Amino acid sequence: MAQPKRIGILTSGGDCAGLNAAIRAVVHSAIDSYGWEVYGIRQATHGLMARPPAALHLTPEKVDPFLTKGGTMLGTTNKGDPFAFPMTDGTVCDRSQEIIEGYHLLGLDALIGIGGDGSLAILRRLAQQGGLNLVGIPKTIDNDVGVTECSIGFDTAVSVATEAVDRLQFTAASHSRVMILEVMGRDAGHIAMCAGIAGGADIILIPEIPYTLDGICETIKIRQQQGKNYCLLVVAEAVRTETGDRVLIKDAEGCRLGGVGQYLSQALCQRIEAETRVTVLGHIQRGGIPSHLDRLIATCFGVAAVELIAKEKYDHVVTWQQRSVVAVPIEEAIFKYSAVNPQGALATTARRMGIFLGSE
Ligand code: F6P
């Protein structure tokens, strides 16, 4: 019989719903099937930089209560690339070796990293530099990791966004307004496209398809002529202005995506005879009770990640492809990006449903 292993697990990058289900699945399957020990590392790689390393011995009793909870019981961060870590004095420092040492101080035989493409790239670089045995699990509400049909967190985010469209419909109809819903997704329009179709939006704007303000105004006018007194517009946060400028919010931390809903509202109110209102859904899309699909995918991924470690098949990420879990080299997961296909099934469906997508 193989030696018992001691494995670590961490969540990295933005949180999302379903992470705890993956952690729970890893713990159950590692302990129940193999008798291994599992350590949950706090705050992504930051926990491995801490001395002593910040880690929690995980047992089924500790993880079970988190199955239905959003966020991550281990904490996470989407700041502080360890290869260029921002120090308090304003300098940046390469702290990668501290993380590698943290892994060895914990006596780990393998590490499961749950993250999006950015986190997986950093973890892989650390693994290569330090000889760490790494297995990846994809998570991101943006669903832009191209090797997998879905990543943990996407389904819940789409459910939340769809519910927002549903709710806006009543108030839009009551006041005869154009309601603009700005959703997350970074440079991919998956959340906007899925929630827009599911919620019966009239207009969906995504970064992958250019649009004109005239096209939007025309759609609103046609709706009005058809007797529909309101209009629902879903816009992805990375959609640019009509002239191609990025719309960004500036705050103390720098610039981030946001504000395109407001831009559209201002541009449209000068051109149409209807009031506009903007809802920015923001981090609500990342929180809440994980959907059944996110829990299911996360549980399958957690179990499959443990199997990869049992087979010592490292440097791979588990993916969902045609109702199966398939292991793919992490390198592929980092480089294969998934955007919405402007000619794909969803875009075609939207157009056939009379939804304005832009002027592609
Ligand atoms: O990548 C996930 C995501 O939620 C994006 O959709 C969004 O643009 C970004 O993270 C928000 O990041 P933060 O939590 O740092 O505001």
Q: Which residues line ligand 1 (CB under 6 A)?
A: 14, 78, 140-142, 184-186, 237, 256-257, 286
Domains and CATH numbers, the chain: 6-152+290-335 (3.40.50.450), 158-286 (3.40.50.460)
What pLDDT, on the 0 to 100 scale, is given for residue 359? 79
Mean pLDDT of 120-147: 98
Q: Give 225's contacts (C-beta < 8 A, 6+ positions apart).
A: none
Q: Residue 184 in 3-state DSSP?
A: coil
Mean pLDDT of 167-195: 98
How close is the Cα of 109 to the center of ligand 1, in Å?
Answer: 32
pLDDT tens for 42-95 read 999 999 999 999 999 999 999 999 999 999 999 999 998 999 999 999 999 999
Nearest ligand 1 atom to the CA of 141 is: 2
DSSP sequence for 250-308: EETTEEEE--HHHHHHHHHHTTSSS-EEEEE-GGGGG-SSPPHHHHHHHHHHHHHHHHH
- Residue 72, by phi and psi: left (phi above 0), alpha (psi -120 to 50) or beta? beta
Instruction: Look at residues 25, 20, 297 and name the one whose alpha carbon lies nearest to residue 149.
Output: 297
**Has residue 1 got a pLDDT over 60?**
no
Q: What is the pTM of this model?
A: 0.97
**Residue 70 tokens, joined:** 């959003």
Q: What percent of the chain has pLDDT over 70?
A: 99
Identified catalytic residue from 15, 64, 94, 142: 142
How close is the Cα of 236 to the center of ligand 1, in Å?
Answer: 12
Q: How far apart are CA 136 and CA 41, in angstroms?
A: 15
Q: How far apart are CA 67 and CA 296, in angstroms?
A: 11
